[in-house]
Structure 1
Amino acid sequence: MHKPKIRTFSLAAPCLAGGILLSSVLAQNTPPAVTEVTVKDGKKTIKFKPHPGADKYEVQSSATVSGPFQDDASGSLSGTAWTSPLTTPIGFYRLKVTEVPPNQLLSAVILNRLGYGPSPEDLDRIRSIGPQAYLAEQLAPETITESLPFDEVRIDNGQGGWQYVTVTGTGSSSKLYLYLNTAGEAHIDDIKLVAGTVAGAGQNLIRNGDFESPLTAADWAIAPNHANSAIVTGVSKSGNASLKVVASAGGSTENSAITQSGITPSLNANSRYTLSYWILPSTSKLSSITVRLSQNGIVSTPLPLPTLGTRLELGGASLNDLRQWHVQRAVRSRRQLLEVLLQFWENHFVTEHGKSADYLDRYYSSSQADYMNQLAAQFEYRENKKWRLVLLRPNGTFHELLKISAESPAMIIFLDTVDSKGNGSNIANENYARELLELFTFGVDNGYDQDDIVETSKAWTGWGVDIVDQPDNPFQTRTTNRPAGTANSVSNLIGHWTFVYKPGNHNNRQKVIFPGKTVPERFGPPYAGRPYELRLPVRTGTTNGGTNGIKDGYEIMAHLADLPFTQEFISVKLCRLFVHDDFETGYDFTDPNLSPEGKLVRRCMEAWENGSPKGQIRQVLSVIFNSDLFRTQSGSAQKVKTPLEFTVSAVRALSAVDANGAYTATTDGNFTSALNRMGAMQLFDRAEPDGFPEAGPPWISAGILGERLRWAQAFLLTPAQRSAAGINDVGSGTSCDPVALLRRKLPSSSLGDASAVANYFIDELYSAEGKANLETYGSIAVNFLNTADNGTTASLFSSLAVGSANYDTRVRGMVAMLLTLPRFQEQ
């Protein structure tokens, strides 16, 4: 058993206020600030701010400032206010705080900082194995086994083989379209369209729907993006042949589909018809197919890509798909620290999906907007996937993460490297060089100047993107693979958009970066005085150094990655993420009075420097997670949740799972609208290169808090209630059942007890907080449960039938209220 930690604090500096003189004796932590001292009607009242993790408050008094101080039984505490009769003209008072046990506090900090807030299962697990064991698990995500349904990659809806499809509708047109929704392939056979509602019964109105005769333009007109489609033998549902549908890009209309016109007899728009066919998805390509009549009287898309993982892996994902996958991983993954880190690095090396799509508009027409969206989403997903692989290795380094970012087509386009040329009289674009130093490595005005930006920018000339036969080879030339008979344009090419190096655009002159510069004295040994000038020679080879010119960029990254400026800046950002916002660059590490924050940053730098290889992310994190600043009140409830953290933590908090895998809160991850309203947090699509704010103030305006309140209330409504009220703030794919959660976690005898129900949710939602700070929340929650829906009439919760509509509404309303209170906005 851990003994509770007791601290004593003065309530303010010495002052005389209405006969009350407050003690000035200081304690180890910053004392709770006094917000109000009043004397009225013969009573003195002292109000103070809550102390994080306070289990109990007691006021002590003494006749003299030197003490002794004794518990003052003359008054009473209500929340964070102490009131006592004014029986003496003057006195000295101080606050005694009993903090929650260290393991309880550490557990809460771990669940809220190393993850997106606790789920009921996480709370049970950390209480079972202890916070240190749980932390060790999270630091080694490769040891955590998980299988998430939305990560699964499959293309046959789990059925396999030929699948039979039927659909009935109206005869909107005598023209039939079939097309793949994205690049890929599939086989189709025995297409039939008959009058009536019975599939296959009666005359087949489709010509050569069994594909036993050669393809002719009179029967099937084939658009350029499906030009490689052909009748094949040996693969068929019946007969000897089927149509192998091959698409270089997704279709949608007559100009991008395989079309049969002039169906005879002509279809009647007021009559019913039934379409049927057999489909065989490919085992290696995307194969979502649509067969429909023009004007959509009959529409069949039988095999939508079954998982987000499939769409992402095979290149058919939109930006919204990527966002939903990212959110669902944050909600469901057991590797919570990994998901937090991936969001951190995504925000650190920020890119803009929309700018990538705009760049691709140079090569594709406006009718291919969906395809450009998919390509741009693929850029974002591929860099995220590569970062994930680095972070799943125990010795993954910052240098590796930096290289992935620099090579990403998303980054090359975002900061205009894609158009930067340094050959001849061309002047290199400085955007990437500036942000590389200012935002990605050194930090603002930390060890570099404008001349260094100019010189660094020359090294990235020649870095571009293009469509090639195989990804991850920067020396490939543009592919020439295109369907026979199509125009020689980029939009018809089949290949992979990726990073390529173009020697003809490179500045191959000698470059000297940080000339004559040495590490400042403030860094102390072993850093101070080290020269960090970098010379890049003229590269030998063909024009502009040939492929050797690419070495300029890689040598700069290797040089920057482990310099003390980078070590400091990245360590500061990680400390802000996991401890509190008040870390900064520019510490004088030789100062004997260096702050605890500065000392922690220094220890992180030492872990970075002494690793082999240098810059191992886990070693830096281990230093942070084992520090006093992380494990005490200094790190508890000190940060404001971002909109992503707020929404994800709400779903997780109410999401218990049973043996059958059924959750009491679910989401499809479609939070795009909500995150936009809560502060324009558009994941993977930020226009500014500094990323979304990592400190609290930008996320706590009145308007943003109002949107959080609105979202929480909508989240706790049932889907039917939302639909009836016309509320779309959460999305149809997100819902919760707090009563089902209660049934799983409380004995049936407690389900009608307002205090038991309120306390359960308070303990779940505010696991980092002590009882002393939750007294007011508990009273509010119990009062809510014992009040009718009109908000004024008393209505005992115990009188409601458990499971009734009134009971459900009362519980939902109380939980919604708790999600909007200040402590749930913090972590």
Structure 2
Amino acid sequence: MPVWNLSNAKHLLSRALFGYSRKDLEVALSYKTVEEFVTKQLLADKPLPAPPDVWINEVPVANNNTVDGDRYRAFTYWWYQNMLTEGTNMREKMVLFWHNHFVSGRDKVNYPQHMYKQQDLFRKAAWGNLQQLTKDISIDPAMLIYLDGRVSSGNGTNVPNENYARELMELFTIGIGNYTEADIRQAALALSGWRVNGLNSTFNQGAWLNANKTFMGKTGNFRYNDIVDIIFARTETPEFICRKLYKEFVYYKSNEAFVKEMAKVLVANKFEIKPVLQFMLTSDEFFNPQYQGSKIKNPTEMSIGILKSLDIKTVGATDLSYIYDQTRNMQQQLLQPPNVRGWVGQRDWISSTTYVLRGGFASSILDPTGRGINGQRFALRVMPVDYARTFKSPEAATKLVADVIDLFLQVPITSKKEKFLLDTMLDGTITTNWSTSTPGADKRIRNLLTAIMRLPEFQMC
């Protein structure tokens, strides 16, 4: 059983949430064991957030590009707010996981109503039944648009569109090498006939082949749900999804023996995701010291995590717009993954350009004038002295620096770097003369926070 201490709590929260605050750590450590915390907080069911606006129920209107673009922005802002106020609950992190697994994007899904409907599905099924979620996503309006299922007809002389059938197997359920081209063609016939009508999907019997299909060695007059059931009867399917969960939350190189153990839990629980998450997140494997601090934060984790670390709980539209623009520049625009494979992550997040942007974003959040990158304005202000005084020993320079490091970083740093950070804050004075009341303390604390957030270690979780 993993030891439930500060180091392990930081590791768990950094992987399962979009960063954490000191309050989040206190909540986590108020539980006696990691098992209790995961069950009662991290994976606890809670009410769904109120929708972003009434437009989610409006029938989509063609050629409404400006309005739809504004709504997509507002939708993303709303999602940021959900992340910022998630507390110690993992649901929003799972929403992003499913968004990056069953990929759809606004580049083809023109109407934000459809993408909201899909995200609502992910939120309700965050740790629900994977087999049912796969059936639901197969006839989801956004997915029907994104992978062309809405134009697929299998009846008469029509050749069905194979895009969704292929990605269903290759990327969503079973993986390359576990199906044939014939399986794709037969699955496409079974999946055909679904159309998007306003906000919803509807079945057009005349566009579906009402005849036997042979798929993965089985023959019958299959529909979409039958195809999913046949795929989920294969042993490769639970291992495929568990491998993806492992790589996202544990380590980017999968331990196949542990993946098989996860798959056993998934099958034993009839493809309910929650028991697998409980098993994974409370295991010695998850808390392996080798894995801690091995994941490169995605731009959303980094930006929302900064706000949480600085105890910023609410932000306005101007600030959300700034986060939106800067995370997009760092190569993560939510609701628009780069392609059907989604964001690959890890080293793909870091380039000579994006690393500079990450550091610039961290510095700009602390700018006292509210002037961000390229002169973009934002409204939030961090008061460094007030923030420092929320720590236990703000008047003890060495202890203050150590406490700030301990909050912001998930990996230890060298004594040389610690001294550099202390010297950065002291700015020529000596530790015995340090006080948050002295002139210039505001700037010195700001310099400390900026220096920490520019460290390579800050990019890791």
Tell me by how many angstroms 1:667 deviates: 5.2
Aligned residues: 456
Q: Does 1:784 align with 2:424?
A: yes
Query: Which of 727, 748, 764 is the matching residue for 2:375?
Result: 727
Q: Does 1:442 align with 2:174?
A: yes
Tell me by how many angstroms 1:381 deviates: 1.2
**Partner Cα distance (1:104, 1:553) in 2:** 47
Q: Map of 1:580-591 to 2, 5 A cutoff? A: 580-583=251-254
Q: Map of 1:651-670 to 2, 5 A cutoff? A: 651-655=307-311, 668=320
Aligned-partner residue type, residue 7 of structure 2: L
Query: Which of 157, 161, 165 is the matching residue for 1:425?
Result: 157
The answer as to whether partners of 1:105 and 1:636 remain within 8 angstroms in 2 is no
Structure 1's unaligned 5+ residue stretches are 6-100, 156-180, 185-246, 253-310, 358-375, 468-496, 515-532, 538-550, 584-596, 788-793
User: Normalising to structure 2: TM-score of the pair?
Assistant: 0.89
Secondary structure of 1:683 counterpart? coil
The answer as to whether partners of 2:56 and 2:113 remain within 8 angstroms in 1 is no
2:342: which partner in 1?
A: 691
Q: Does 1:564 align with 2:235?
A: yes
**Partner Cα distance (1:557, 1:812) in 2:** 54
Secondary structure of 1:448 counterpart? coil
RMSD: 3.2
Tell me by how many angstroms 1:819 deviates: 0.9
**Partner Cα distance (1:689, 1:248) in 2:** 24
Higher helix share: 2
Secondary structure of 1:629 counterpart? coil
1:278: which partner in 2?
A: none
Tell me by how many angstroms 1:823 deviates: 1.5
Query: Which of 99, 104, 113 is the matching residue for 1:346?
Result: 99
**Identity rate, percent:** 24
Q: 1:763 to 1:154 in 2, by over 3 A?
A: same
Post-superposition Cα deviations, 1:243-289, rounded to whole Å, max 9, x if no partner, equal xxxx997999xxxxxxxxxxxxxxxxxxxxxxxxxxxxxxxxxxxxx
1:210: which partner in 2?
A: none
Q: 1:145 to 1:131 in 2, by over 3 A?
A: farther
1:615: which partner in 2?
A: 271
Secondary structure of 1:353 counterpart? coil
Q: Map of 1:590-601 to 2, 5 A cutoff? A: 597-601=255-259
**Partner Cα distance (2:151, 2:126) in 1:** 31
**Partner Cα distance (1:328, 1:153) in 2:** 10
Post-superposition Cα deviations, 1:117-149, rounded to whole Å, max 9, x if no partner, equal 22110122223324513222234322x579x7x
Aligned-partner residue type, residue 819 of structure 1: M
Q: 1:152 to 1:673 in 2, by over 3 A?
A: closer
Q: Does 1:387 align with 2:122?
A: yes
1:638: which partner in 2?
A: 294
Aligned-partner residue type, residue 121 of structure 1: K
2:27: which partner in 1?
A: 125
Q: 1:347 to 1:801 in 2, by over 3 A?
A: same
**Partner Cα distance (1:513, 1:390) in 2:** 27
The answer as to whether partners of 1:643 and 1:675 remain within 8 angstroms in 2 is yes
The answer as to whether partners of 1:405 and 1:411 remain within 8 angstroms in 2 is yes
User: Normalising to structure 1: TM-score of the pair?
Assistant: 0.51
Tell me by how many angstroms 1:754 deviates: 2.8
1:332: which partner in 2?
A: 85
Query: Which of 745, 750, 756 is the matching residue for 2:391?
Result: 745
Q: Does 1:137 align with 2:71?
A: no
**Partner Cα distance (2:405, 2:348) in 1:** 27
Q: 1:690 to 1:444 in 2, by over 3 A?
A: same
**Partner Cα distance (1:745, 1:114) in 2:** 25
The answer as to whether partners of 1:420 and 1:462 remain within 8 angstroms in 2 is yes
Post-superposition Cα deviations, 1:211-233, rounded to whole Å, max 9, x if no partner, equal xxxxxxxxxxxxxxxxxxxxxxx
Aligned-partner residue type, residue 371 of structure 2: R
Q: 1:744 to 1:575 in 2, by over 3 A?
A: same
Tell me by how many angstroms 1:386 deviates: 2.1
2:140: which partner in 1?
A: 408
Q: 1:152 to 1:499 in 2, by over 3 A?
A: closer
Tell me by how many angstroms 1:796 deviates: 5.2
Secondary structure of 2:223 counterpart? helix
1:355: which partner in 2?
A: 108
**Partner Cα distance (1:390, 1:805) in 2:** 53
The answer as to whether partners of 1:422 and 1:505 remain within 8 angstroms in 2 is yes
Q: 1:500 to 1:761 in 2, by over 3 A?
A: same
Secondary structure of 2:100 counterpart? helix
Query: Which of 448, 454, 460 is the matching residue for 1:820?
Result: 454
Query: Which of 668, 671, 684 is the matching residue for 2:323?
Result: 671
